Amino acid sequence: MNFAEYIRDVPDFPEKGVVFKDITPLLKSNEALVAATNELLAKVKDLKIDKVVGVDSRGFIFAPLLASKLNAGFVPVRKVGKLPYITAAENYDLEYGSDTLEIHLDAIEPGEHVLVHDDVLATGGTAGAVCKLVEQLGGKVVQCNFLIHLSFLNGQDKLKPYQIASLLTY
């Protein structure tokens, strides 16, 4: 399937000069949604995964789908102040600002194998922060996977030595 046909470019969002890759056309097509889920699963078929971490907010779409198919738990990583229990926090930079992410302290057990999922890999700040949170809790990141990789922003450099995978690369 040509997933690029289901990605819409939105210029100047969320701020002037940024071209946002909108995945909602893919999500509204059952055929594309199922195919994308299956392709993401194929990228981890040989990996042991105990937990799938989904990144606030669009990472919450595919991460639970992947977790259910992998017989793994789902862990949400949220923006600061959104989780109700005791959390660990990590600050990070993104292509148009900075933010903080949090994870529940009891979300990942030491030694668990973790798949990190988000919709887009851009500068790598978000995924890098999530990997740090996973490792703070004693988890092992086995892969970071994405629907879209914006390779021209060099986010892959911030994710060394982690394995990365994506459905589309721009």
Residues 6+ apart with CB under 8 A from 160: none
Which of the following is catalytic: 58, 90, 102, 112? 58
pLDDT of residue 109: 98
Q: Is residue 52 part of a domain?
A: yes
Which of the following is catalytic: 31, 39, 78, 95? 95
Q: Is residue 19 part of a domain?
A: no
pLDDT of residue 14: 87
Once rounded to an integer, what is the mean pLDDT over residues 8-32? 96
Per the structure, how many domains does the chain have? 1
Residue linked to tokens 């949090």? 102
Bridge partners of 78, per DSSP, are 102
Of 49-58, 92-101, 103-112, 139-148, the poorest mean pLDDT is in: 92-101
Greatest alpha-carbon span in the chain:
43
Active site residue 8: no
Once rounded to an integer, what is the mean pLDDT over residues 111-129? 96
Of 19-28, 65-74, 94-103, 145-154, the poorest mean pLDDT is in: 94-103
- Report the predicted TM-score, pTM, of the whole model to 2 decimal places: 0.95
User: Whole domain around residue 117: which residue ranges?
Assistant: 46-169
Residues 6+ apart with CB under 8 A from 156: 121, 124, 149, 164
User: Would you put residue 164 in left (φ > 0), alpha (ψ -120 to 50) or beta?
Assistant: beta
Once rounded to an integer, what is the mean pLDDT over residues 138-144? 98
pLDDT of residue 95: 64
Active site residue 58: yes
Q: Is residue 105 part of a domain?
A: yes
CATH number at residue 82: 3.40.50.2020
Pairwise CA distance, residues 103 & 79, whole Å: 9
* CA nearest to 36, candidates 8, 5, 13: 5
Q: Is residue 10 part of a domain?
A: no
- Tell me: pLDDT of 97 over 80: no
Please write the tens of the pLDDT for every residue from 41-96.
Answer: 999 999 999 999 999 999 999 999 999 999 999 999 999 999 999 999 999 977 66
> What share of the chain in percent tops pLDDT 70?
98
pLDDT of residue 96: 66
Looking at residue 1, its amino acid is: M
* Per-residue confidence band for 137, with pLDDT thresholds at 50, 70 and 90: very high
- Tell me: pLDDT of 35 over 80: yes
